[in-house]
Amino acid sequence: MLKSTLIEAAKAGAAEIVRFFNSDFKISNKEGVNNLVTEADHASEKAILSVIKSRFPEHQVLAEESGEMIQDSAYKWIIDPIDGTVNFAHGIPLNCVSIGIEHNGEMAMGAVYNPHLNEFYFAEKGKGATLNDNPIRVSEETQAVKACLVTGFPYTYINMPNGPLEIFERFIRKGVPVRRLGSAAIDLCWVACGRFDGFYEHKLEAWDSAAGYLIVEEAGGKVTDFTGSKFSVYQHRLLATNGKIHDEMLAVINNKKEL
């Protein structure tokens, strides 16, 4: 019932995304620059929570727009009703619903659904990852200099030492293609299915990474923080790769090696 509820909730949120996409809707700005929230974000989150609460009213929830609902439960649903809100607000079809389920502090299940491309990614701990019910695997690339990478840029502290711009420059000056899609959940899923060989970002929240993190790992990839230590969705910095270029990317990110 947990899996079916997750799938139903993701599809309910996605239906709201489709309903509002390329229409007139209210847009407001949260704290910071370009930190948008739209009428559709709230509608998607409401639809998602309605499904979850109808089946598991006792479960905890951490949702981007409505915050944390703490209850006495080993389960926590971590929800991003629209990952890629800036894309969504500009009519760019690279946005999605992302929902992860945490059990006793570990990610147990995750779903990411981009209804514009009809791509539904799903993973359950120990059972692999799928795209539209077909198994997916990470790429086989072994050299970072030959990799196709993806990253994101925070809207704050972008000029910090060894920050997003410096690391980006290290890769692109060597001719490495580094894309910027605007949705961390999609970035992670595209690593999981082998479209990208690696993804790194400096400032993610739990709802950005919870589902995609598990999907990458279950697709055979590796996810850590920037020190190479075990990743937690409650920390900001993330490196996700096919595993074969992970150590090399860590060395470049930490300015310990040139490509």
Beta-sheet pairing, 119-124 with 134-135: unpaired
Q: Could you tell me where in the chain the CATH 3.30.540.10 domains are found?
A: 2-135
- Report pLDDT for 34: 58
| Mean pLDDT confidence for 189-215 | 97
Q: Could you tell me where in the chain the CATH 3.40.190.80 domains are found?
A: 144-253
Is residue 36's pLDDT more than 80?
no
- Report pLDDT for 30: 62
- Express each pLDDT in 62-117 by its tens digit: 999 888 999 999 999 999 999 999 999 999 999 999 999 999 999 999 999 999 99
- Report pLDDT for 157: 65
Beta-sheet pairing, 238-241 with 198-201: antiparallel
Tokens found for residue 178: 């580094």
Q: Residue 32 — pLDDT band, cuts 50, 70, 90? A: low
CA dihedral defined by 228, 231, 234, 238, rounded to 10 degrees?
A: 60
Q: Domain 2-135, what fold? A: Fructose-1,6-Bisphosphatase; Chain A, domain 1 (3.30.540)
| Mean pLDDT confidence for 214-219 | 98
Q: Residue 25 — pLDDT band, cuts 50, 70, 90? A: confident
CATH 3.40.630.30 applies to domain 144-253: no
